[in-house]
Amino acid sequence: MSNLDNLDKIVSLAKARGFIFQSSEIYGGLSAVYDYGPLGVELKRNIRDAWWKEMTRRHDNIVGIDAAIFMHPKVWEASGHVGGFNDPMIDDKQSKKRYRADMIIEQHIEKLRKDEKHEEANAIQEKLDSCGSRKSLTEDLYEIIIENEIRAPESGAFDWTEVRQFNLMFKTQFGSTSTEEDGVYLRPETAQGIFVNYKNVLDTARVTVPFGIAQTGKAFRNEVVARQFVFRMREFEQMEMQYFVKPGTDEAEYEKWLEKRLEWHKMMGIREENLRTAPHPEDKLAHYARAAADIQYKYPIGWQEVEGIHNRTDFDLNQHAEFSGKKMDYYDQKNQERFTPYVIETSVGLDRLTLMVLCDAYREEEVDGDTRTVLKMNPKLAPTQVGIFPLIKKDKLQDLAHKIEEDLREEFSILYDESGSIGKRYRRQDEAGTPFCITVDFDGVESEGEDTVTIRYRDDMSQERIPVSNIANVIRDGMKSWKPE
């Protein structure tokens, strides 16, 4: 089975079990927009909560905020998004597909290298690197595509439009007057909500540099190439933390956060061999960054960024100081000095994280000549933590099962199920990633002494009989000691 087949299977399971649906599906769907179903919303919430706990509760110098999606239009001028958040795009007139012009050229170069045509590849690479220096960026890119007769990857046609800049921000009207000149944008990143609140937090939260501000929330990008399930969406959720540090300490803090964040993904139970860090080469850094690295996961579509760590320097605070006319510097009382902090940013996509958890957990196993599909995810993240089943529909068993449900529901997420054979119920919970199932049977309620139940473990399907009073303890221990296989 190829990796991409694996993605198809995950997409099917996600839909069939109620993790992720296409948006507005009954109308044919809306491209690159997705909805989370009953299991998906729990999984996503658990991941968000785990991140929040890690970033805020485990660091006494990191506080949270929740900024609005709409922001003053000037914010996006200051941040560079109005001027620079563009991709140069070209359309294949035959297939009507749109591509990033620079990527088409890079793919062509890669192909030439594979064919050992290094001289030709080097010449095109050189031209690509100096795009924008002959005519404009778009014209220079167009020229390379035409000169080298680069064809559309899918249709094979050589029938291109011009190269055009395409801004990734969604713009909409604001207020009751549609004549208002400046529309507002849906934020393309959550970070700016943190920068514009930096002074408010300094003035109210009694923090001193170094300190961090964390936030989770929706971001919107009119992505051009958006065909990879929840990996690249037009509406997605980011979880970002901006860490304000003294200039000069920024490089060490950047390294520290890169390592800390990689460790967190491992702690969440993602298999180590599927994670790596990849620093951005200096000539590929974003306009605001002094250093940047991806934390990448080996998705079925290949190694791809799940999180970015960036040293944004004092770029954003300086820009906002200039555009707003407000001071953004910091007075260090202890050392009696004034400076504008540098910012180390950790930025992770919640949807990409959710997809990573699903991909890493997904297994197919042969069991007694049958295929068992199971999501072996960290029990703390599982949408349902405990399944509770009376073996058959008899009062005595149902009553005890309901009592156990009542006892556990404050602490764990529970699902009570009495329909179908016990084997089928186990398999349903395997597909949902439920780590523990409790079955109440006659042996347990009719024997002498305390009532007992069978607990069945998702990962190795082993079972043991335990007293009812010990269920919560056994589950707590199972959660703590869980390790990815």
Q: Identify which of residues 85 and 198 has a Cβ nearer to ligand ATP in the complex.
A: 85
Q: Identify which of residues 236 and 330 has a Cβ nearer to ligand ATP in the complex.
A: 236
Q: At what angle do helices 101-114 and 137-147 cross, to 10 degrees?
A: 40
Q: Which range in 69-77, 83-91, 131-139, 343-351 contacts ligand ATP by CB under 6 A? A: 343-351
Question: How does strand 160-167 pair with strand 86-92?
Answer: antiparallel
347 lies in the site for ligand ATP, by CB under 6 A? yes
238 lies in the site for ligand ATP, by CB under 6 A? yes
Q: What span, in angstroms and rounded, lies between the C-alpha atoms of 169 and 234?
A: 10
Find out whether 341 and 314 touch, Cβ atoms under 8 Å. Answer: yes
Size of the site for ligand ATP (CB under 6 A): 16
Q: Identify which of residues 250 and 294 has a Cβ nearer to ligand ATP in the complex.
A: 294
348 lies in the site for ligand ATP, by CB under 6 A? yes
459 lies in the site for ligand ATP, by CB under 6 A? no
**How far apart, in Å, are the Cα atoms of 318 and each of 62, 182, 207?**
22, 23, 20
> Backbone phi, then psi, for 21, in 5-degree steps?
-115, 155
430 lies in the site for ligand ATP, by CB under 6 A? no
Q: Identify which of residues 290 and 403 has a Cβ nearer to ligand ATP in the complex.
A: 290
Binding ligand ATP by CB under 6 A: which of 221, 265, 320, 458? 221
Find out whether 428 and 438 touch, Cβ atoms under 8 Å. Answer: no
Q: Is 221 annotated as contributing to ligand binding?
A: yes
Q: Identify which of residues 253 and 307 has a Cβ nearer to ligand ATP in the complex.
A: 307
Nearest to 63 by CA among 254, 200, 237, 264: 200
307 lies in the site for ligand ATP, by CB under 6 A? yes
Q: Burial, 389: exposed, middle or buried (Cβ in 10 Å; 0-12, 13-18, 19+)?
A: buried
Q: Which range in 123-131, 137-145, 269-277, 345-353 contacts ligand ATP by CB under 6 A? A: 345-353
> Backbone phi, then psi, for 259, in 5-degree steps?
-70, -45
Q: Which range in 40-48, 139-147, 344-352, 441-449 contacts ligand ATP by CB under 6 A? A: 344-352
Residue number closest to ligand ATP, CB atom:
349
The residues of the shown chain that bind ligand ATP, judged by CB under 6 A, are 189, 221, 223, 232-233, 236, 238, 305-308, 347-349, 351-352
Residues at the binding site are: 100, 189, 221-223, 231-240, 305-306, 345-352
